[in-house]
Structures are given as C-alpha cells and as structure tokens.
Amino acid sequence: MTTDKPLTQHINQDKPLAMPEYIDVGGYRSVDKILQQMSAQDVQDVVKDSGLKGRGGAGFPTAMKWSFVPKFEDTDPRSGDDKYLICNADEMEPGTFKDRWLLEGVPHQLIEAMIIASYAIGANKAFIFLRGEYHLAAKRLQQALDEAYQQGYLGDNIRNSGYQLDLYLHTSAGRYICGEETALINALEGQRANPRAKPPFPQVSGLFGKPTIVNNVETLCNLPHIINHGADWFKQLSNNDDAGTKIYSVSGRVQRPGLWELPMGITVRELLYQRAGGLSPGLNLKGFLPGGASTDFLTVEHLDLVLGYDEVSAAGSRLGTGGIIVLDDQNCPVAMVLNLLKFFAQESCGFCTPCRDGTAWAVDALTRIEQGQGSQQDLDNLHKLCDFMWLGKTHCALAPGAVEPLQSALKYFHDDFEQHIDKGCCPYSGHH
C-alpha cells in the first residue's frame, strides 16, 4: 500500500499500534526484504538514489553521511561491535515538535528504520538518545523495543539472517546542546555535553572513538518506505527538487496550530493559511521563523516562498526543522527575540567565549531596550554581537543559531527597536 503521507499514515496518539497490528499494516516488511535480498551497499544505494536529506535541520544527504563510515573487511578485528548508529531524538529546538509526534504515535516505525540504517552501515549496536522530558515517548518506545526483541527483530541472528543488532533507549539528562551530534555523543559516554572539535568527524571517530552515524528521528523514519516502494516513488512525493515529504509545524497565534505531513516544497502561504487557518481574528502577520527558533525571520513578502532547503536559503533563512513560529502585528518583536535569546544564553555549554558571554550580553541589551531603558549604543552593540557570534568564530553552531533571529529582527523590524529607544517604553506593552 502506497500513500502520500508515509510517515504519519499509521500514527495513533492515543494508542499506538502494537507489534502484531503494525506487522498487519506492512510493518517490518522492509527489514525482511533487506535481510533476504539486499547487501548493505544495496541499501545505501537505494537511499542515495532516493535523495533523502537529513530532517533534523541541516538537510545533509543521508546516504552521503553514511558513506563516510570506513568499510571494514569481515576479517578485520574492528568489525562487529565497533560501529554505532545513534538516533538523535533530543528534540529541544523551540517551535519544533515533529519528532515527538512520530515517537509517541508510531514507535515501531523508528525501530524498523533503525534496523535498516544499522544494517546499511554495518553497526551491531544502536542507541535512541531521547529528550529527557519525553516521558510518554520513552514509555512507548521501551514497550515497542521489548516487543521487537520478543518477535526476533532485535538481538542475535535476526530472522535467521545471521545479522545481529542490539538497540538501547537512553534518556538524556537535558540541555539543548545535547542535540549537537558530538555533544550528544559525549553525553552518551557519560561526559559533559560539550561539542567536540572536528575533525575527526563522528563518522570516523565518534562514540567511544568508533565510527558513528547520528541521524534525526524523522530522517530515519523515511527508510522503511524507501525500501518498500523505491527511490523513484520517494522522489515523486515532493513538489520541488527535495525528495519526499516533510513534517511541517506551525505555532504562534494562528487559528489551528499543529503538524502536517506534506510534500517537500509547498509554500508558506499554503501552510499558514490553508493548513493553520491563518492568524487569529484581528491579527495580521508581521513575520515568521521558518524552521524553529534558530532561523532568520522572514516577512509577509515571503508568503509565496517554497519551503525547500535551497529556496529558503536563497531568501536569507533556513528551512531547519520546518517548524514555523508566527509573529503577529500585536506582538513585540523585541520581546520575542529577547525570549529566544534568554533560552540560548541559558543553554550555552559555556565552552567558548563568543557564545558564553555574547548570548548573555545580547540578553542584557535586549532587556534594556524592551524595558524602555535602551540606548543607541545598545543597538550598535547588538549589531556587533551578531558579527562576534557568527559562523567560524564559535566552537559550534549554537551561537550562530542564536544570532539568526536577532540579526534578522534588527533588519526587518528596525523601527520597532528604534521606537523602544525613542519612546522609552515598549510600544506593544498593552498587548503582551
């Protein structure tokens, strides 16, 4: 059975499918197929042909990432236990809640997907690194894992194929920085979650110094469908050059906030007005973040923008996680950016100065401006901080991500910042 909503067709938030029901609707068929008919390279080739890109924010081609893992001969002592797959389920990007929907609503789909990815890279151990606050997801995933072991889809000699895989659920101790893949690996090892210097990249030296692939939940969940239906089918699901579907979300003061699995390459207008029902009565759109909190604002002029990786980049932002956060004309953009910067300042791992101090300085300046005590000097300093914390000047991407909403707010909503300073108060104060 094919569908144009492969990821979410069997989602049930109230009571996800147990293993027998999941198998009845075609679950784990892809695992039987790869174990009986395909080599690891065959699986990589199909995923490469499908054009699947990472859905965690960066949009990097999945099969290309896999291809960086060294290929060991079977006689090599390093083969076997010494490659790892990690699912990044540490969804802490403000405005993003797509992975939670998949984890709670159809947990077996992720387990099936992880068996495929582990087989493709030659890993015999895999981990789900789950956000600590996702208690319901943890419970449902563990239940699904237990069922998969009982039915012989995990453990030794899976389905009499000679392939073995152990899959572990690890709940995070918290922190946004754990979503950065090398910080996640450090946390999984029991170390402080500071990002590592690269190179070496995790694909060569990751968990416990061994080759490691880290993929996002939504990325992985595409795999069973690609194996079952083929690369061409996956490509034709989309409206643009990016293959497949995407789980888009909308939050903010809209009529119907929520999540939708839609073709890659739909427009902002379709998402905001057809799916989310437009803004709440009496409000107009002022701007929006297209892909979670660490992306640049776009404005009303971008409503007909196609939501694809290249298209959003060309407009000066990033598709990121596809989680749109709406800013309406009754909400203060300075207050919104201050709220986001407070989060990033709190979540900085403190390893590098531009992030540790820069985010805190930005919060100080924005607080003064928002409270009507700001000066032109504060505004100048914010512009300088955007440069001070930008890509190439920090240890990881947290600070540049924090800069994106700030620099774009200074660009598009400059008058609002000036009004706070000129009037000595927040012009929106009656509306907070």
Whole-number pLDDT of residue 2: 66
Cα 305 from chain centre: 21
Whole-number pLDDT of residue 429: 81
Strand order in the sheet with 125-130: 166-171, 125-130, 84-89, 212-216
d(CA 4, CA 143): 28
CATH number for the 245-328 domain, one of 3.10.20.600, 3.30.70.1520, 3.40.50.720, 3.30.1300.10?
3.10.20.600
Whole-number pLDDT of residue 226: 98
Break the chain into its structural domains and give their ranges: 19-235, 245-328, 333-431
Whole-number pLDDT of residue 168: 98
Judged by DSSP in three states, 334 sits in helix
Q: In angstroms, what is the C-alpha Rg of the chain?
A: 22
**Partners of 254 in the beta sheet?**
279
Whole-number pLDDT of residue 77: 43
Residue 168 has φ and ψ, to the nearest 5°, of -120, 145
Q: CB of 209 within 8 A of CB of 221?
A: no
Looking up tokens 């073709």 gives 263
Alpha helices in 257-375 (DSSP H): 268-269, 309-314, 333-347, 353-370
Cα 262 to Cα 228, 239, 242, 299, 313: the distances in Å are 20, 10, 12, 22, 20
d(CA 366, CA 371): 8
Judged by DSSP in three states, 225 sits in helix
Whole-number pLDDT of residue 58: 84
Residue 323 has φ and ψ, to the nearest 5°, of -95, 105
Q: CB of 240 within 8 A of CB of 309?
A: no
Q: Name the class of domain 333-431.
A: mainly alpha
Amino acid at 92: M
CA angle at 128 for the pair 401 and 22, rounded to the nearest 5°: 120
Looking up tokens 């699912």 gives 87
DSSP state of 176: G
Instruction: Give the global pTM.
Output: 0.95
d(CA 246, CA 55): 8
Q: CB of 307 within 8 A of CB of 289?
A: no
CB hemisphere CA count around 11 (13 angstroms): 19
Q: CB of 343 within 8 A of CB of 363?
A: no
pLDDT truncated to tens, each residue of the chain (432 aa)? Answer: 568 999 999 999 999 999 999 999 999 999 999 999 999 999 999 999 999 999 988 899 999 999 999 886 654 444 455 899 999 999 999 999 999 999 999 999 999 999 999 999 999 999 999 999 999 999 999 999 999 999 999 999 999 999 999 999 999 988 999 999 999 999 999 999 999 999 999 999 999 999 999 999 999 999 999 999 999 999 999 999 999 999 999 999 999 999 999 999 999 999 999 999 999 999 999 999 999 999 999 999 999 999 999 999 999 999 999 999 999 999 999 999 999 999 999 999 999 999 999 999 999 999 999 999 999 999 999 999 999 999 999 999 999 999 999 999 999 999 999 999 999 999 998 654
Looking up tokens 């709190």 gives 346
Q: Name the class of domain 19-235.
A: alpha beta
Looking up tokens 């490691």 gives 212
Q: Residue 380, exposed/middle/buried by CB under 10 A (0-12, 13-18, 19+)?
A: exposed
